[in-house]
Structure 1
């Protein structure tokens, strides 16, 4: 059990008052007894995530960061609704129990869901798992299978037909991320002009059947079964989920997928063990996805390049806050170098592309 994702003590200024949350939850969830033990999960740069341990049941509470009132960026109700409805068609997302819109309770909206207890992989494969290359490949294929399964979910049957607008999705993503990137530019950041022009020129039509797009599908957002770590039992972080072209979601995931043969500077960006012996390469990942999805992907170049540009946009938005003194987190000082590296990776894709 030492491998299961652990919560820690609560960070200063982010305390959760048990005297307030306990009676509220008991008024909403029948049968709760005892007092909750409250701790905090250390990950996540966006919403705050807490573990509430009752004698017979464990819950996870999610709320926006303190002091941030931009509801559109931390829409608790939207995430609650996705979990509540999607679970019927995709049983790997946690069940959502309570959504509180009364900000007088905790000072912000929040929601409470079940805790799915298991293993979450970070940058390195844990030695305790003792996986050989064959087991790692099985895990990798299972990871892709879940993405394919998500993209095949009948979102209309789940009551999520109004979650997004699939028509024109590809064009909106390219234009939207270009606009967001320009707004986050700093004097030391690359302009990405050749890449942005290429993406606009090579943009495919919306000919793929629309599906649920997770928008942040990585190994550190999936939960592995404690007693069978090759089995995925949960998928987390539905904050960015929408309806769109599934291959754009594949591109997002490939942008995070740093393989064993990538050069050392690229390896420094890795946040998951995608380089471990047995893990598929990006091309093998896409080929396996296409086979399982029953589609043909003639080239992943556009989707991978889009994923890299989108990731650079996210990185630059964070760096912009650091550059202008809106955050003092020293980790973000290096993000402009990550942005430049992502541009070089994109230019390399374009130089070798047959599109």
Structure 2
């Protein structure tokens, strides 16, 4: 298990700058969460780079609270109301997500918007190579992750009440534009010449989106954003829906499969030793399994999609750098993200070269 994973495990006392009026929260819980009974104990999860996340314990049950971070925020970021909505919609479709108990858009309660959901107990694997299980279970876990991604992309988003959750069509174009704007808007983090080159390449080489599919896309589907059953290779809940929208599921799959080219010290990746661990399918096998599950004959622009996802992750880390410099980064591990940003940017450029071959 990586040090980063160990650092993200469990909870800690609420960190300085992220405290709030707990009696006011408890009054809101009593008024809005069915069956809530105190007293309340609040702890902060160590992970959660973007939206601060808290564990709420009572004698009868536990909950999770996700909130916008305090301080100055970029427009459109940290949309916890969208997270709550997609979780609610997917639950109606039978997709494995935590139950949402309530959303609060009144800043007077704890200082920012937040929502409260069920606490799902199970296993989270911070190391994508899953060294703590044997080869057979490792293979089954990868198959379950692949299936969870395919199941999401097969959800009828209209029937789930999410037909207006995003704009169908031109997903890549809008995403490249969105993350370019996010990157340029954060003046505290500053510009980067290599990222500027990446943006130029992405715009110049964007594939046609005429035949692209539309589905709910998660936007951050990594193995460490899934809770697995305590003893079975089965996904109980998918977490961290902040980036979810309607979009091209092939791009969403490529983000998940980016683990094959990502060093584990940046995010949950397999590049290096992890690729040799028994039970892990090859990148081609993993792609083929997803295509079978979603009725595809292949993914012609796969390498471009991977390059885009490296860029988007670099833009996200660039935003973490800005928040870190402003003093309102949501995680104690924000500095680690900032430290690996130059390496991530170089890897991003390498992916554009690979896609250009």
Place the TM-score, normalised by the shorter chain, in its bin.
0.7 to 0.9
Distance of 1:36 and 1:310 partners within structure 2: 38
Distance of 2:306 and 2:200 partners within structure 1: 13
Following superposition, the deviation at residue 190 of structure 1 comes to 1.0
1:290 equivalent to 2:294? Answer no
The corresponding residue for 1:93 is: 97
Following superposition, the deviation at residue 270 of structure 1 comes to 4.3
Following superposition, the deviation at residue 153 of structure 1 comes to 0.5
The corresponding residue for 1:350 is: 356
Matches within 5 A, 1:180-199: 180-183=182-185, 186=190, 189-191=193-195, 193=197, 196-197=200-201
Q: Which has the higher contact order (CA 8 A, sep 6+)?
A: 2
The corresponding residue for 1:143 is: 145
Choose 274-283 or 230-239, whichever is displaced more.
274-283
Give secondary structure in 2 for the equivalent of 1:141: helix
Distance of 1:53 and 1:252 partners within structure 2: 34
* 1:64-109 residue CA offsets vs partner (Å, 9 max, x unmatched): 1122455621222222111122211143111111111222111222
1:237 equivalent to 2:243? Answer no
Matches within 5 A, 1:257-296: 257-258=259-260, 266-272=263-269, 275=275, 276-296=277-297
Cα pair distance change 1:56/1:291, threshold 3 Å: same
Distance of 2:202 and 2:335 partners within structure 1: 33
1:47 equivalent to 2:48? Answer no
Structure label with greater radius of gyration: 1
Distance of 1:267 and 1:22 partners within structure 2: 39
Give secondary structure in 2 for the equivalent of 1:240: coil
Choose 196-205 or 164-173, whichever is displaced more.
196-205
Cα pair distance change 1:190/1:69, threshold 3 Å: closer
Q: Which runs of 5+ in 2 are unaligned?
A: 1-5
Measured on the aligned residues, the alpha-carbon RMSD in Å equals 2.7
Distance of 2:319 and 2:22 partners within structure 1: 35
Following superposition, the deviation at residue 350 of structure 1 comes to 2.3
Distance of 2:202 and 2:323 partners within structure 1: 28
Distance of 2:197 and 2:203 partners within structure 1: 10
The corresponding residue for 1:223 is: 227
The corresponding residue for 1:158 is: 160
Distance of 1:220 and 1:348 partners within structure 2: 26
Give secondary structure in 2 for the equivalent of 1:72: coil
- Correspondent of 2:65 among 61, 65, 87: 61
The corresponding residue for 1:340 is: 346
* 1:218-256 residue CA offsets vs partner (Å, 9 max, x unmatched): 01110011132x11100001111000110011122222x
Following superposition, the deviation at residue 277 of structure 1 comes to 2.7
Task: Tell me the number of residue pairs that the alignment of Structure 1 and Structure 2 aligns.
Answer: 338
- Structure 1 length-normalised TM: 0.85
Give secondary structure in 1 for the equivalent of 2:53: strand
The corresponding residue for 2:123 is: 119
Cα pair distance change 1:304/1:125, threshold 3 Å: closer
The corresponding residue for 2:3 is: none
- Correspondent of 1:23 among 12, 23, 27: 27
